[in-house]
Structure formats: structure tokens, C-alpha cells
Amino acid sequence: MIQSLEELIVPGRVLRLFCSFTDPPKEKYVVIVATDPFCLGFPINSSPTELQQSKKHLRDELIVVAKADGYAFLTNPQPSVLDCTLAADFEFDEVVAQLTQDSSRVLRIITDETRANIVEVVKESMTLEGGIAKIILKNLAVS
């Protein structure tokens, strides 16, 4: 049975989304980390920002992800970073609309290792607001 697109938007799912929070707005891979009570995602960036490279506590909240880890869509020769310093807020309906227009935007569920790494980082996070961190941990635990 084919699942509805809504059912595919779950914590731990990687999606390719057009993101308005980047400057300039652009397509990004995003790991959905919460859907309840709202939709949050961590962006995957091709490299750390200069600020992240210069601050250890920010660097500690980046998770290296690469094609070799099972993420075939990451085609850069160097590994990418999953940015756990930014829980981007997505309109669920807007996400559904993007996926409806192009279902190839729905990618794999993250590996157990990546999920464990995210949980570890979020537990210790110095950048995420405490309430947000709790929501993410709860969402990643049950799914």
C-alpha cells in the first residue's frame, strides 16, 4: 500500500526542501527531527560556517555525514555536516506541498548511528533552547 506523503514526514526522515531561512533561500537536505507539536528540521550543510569552525561548542554540535555512511544523495567529495545548532521551523503543510509537487524530495530515514549521534548532541546542546531540545528528544525517541 502506498503511504500518503504526510505519513512519510516523520522524525528521522531526510527530505530535500526549498528553505527560506538560508541567505539566499535555496534547496537543502534537511533531517526532520520533530513533527509534534511542530515540524523542525536540522539542515545538512556542505561545510561548517566560519563561525562554527572557530567555536568549539558549535563544532561539537555538527555531525559529519557522508555518502559512505549510507547517504547516497550526498555527492560532495568531502563529508557534509548535519547542523544541530539550528532547529529550523517548517510549516507542515508547506513541506507536504513541496513533496506533492516532487516526490523525489523524500529520501531515506537516517541510520541508527546518525539518530544516536543527534540524540547525544541535542542532550548536551548549548545552542538549542531547552524546550526545543526536549521536543526533539521526545520525537526522536518514539519514532
* 3 pLDDT more than 80: no
Burial annotation 20-54 (CB, 10 A radius, 16+ → b, else e): eeeeeeeebbbbbbbbeeebbbbbbbeebeeebee
Q: Which residues face 94 on adjacent strands?
A: none
**Residue 5 banded pLDDT, cuts 50, 70, 90:** confident
Measured CA angle at 84 (ends 117, 11), to 5 deg? 70
Q: What is the pLDDT of residues 14-40, one digit of tens each?
A: 999 999 998 899 999 999 999 999 999
Q: Which residues face 64 on adjacent strands?
A: 81
**All cell numbers assigned to 2:** 502506498
* Span 97-120, average pLDDT: 96
CATH of the domain at 61: 2.30.30.110
Rounded to the nearest integer, the mean pLDDT of the chain is 94
Q: Which domain holds residue 58?
A: 5-142
pLDDT at 88: 97
Q: What is the pLDDT of residues 67-96, one digit of tens each?
A: 999 999 999 899 999 999 999 999 999 999
Total tally of structural domains belonging to the chain: 1
pLDDT at 2: 60
Strand 106-109 relative to strand 88-90, pairing: unpaired
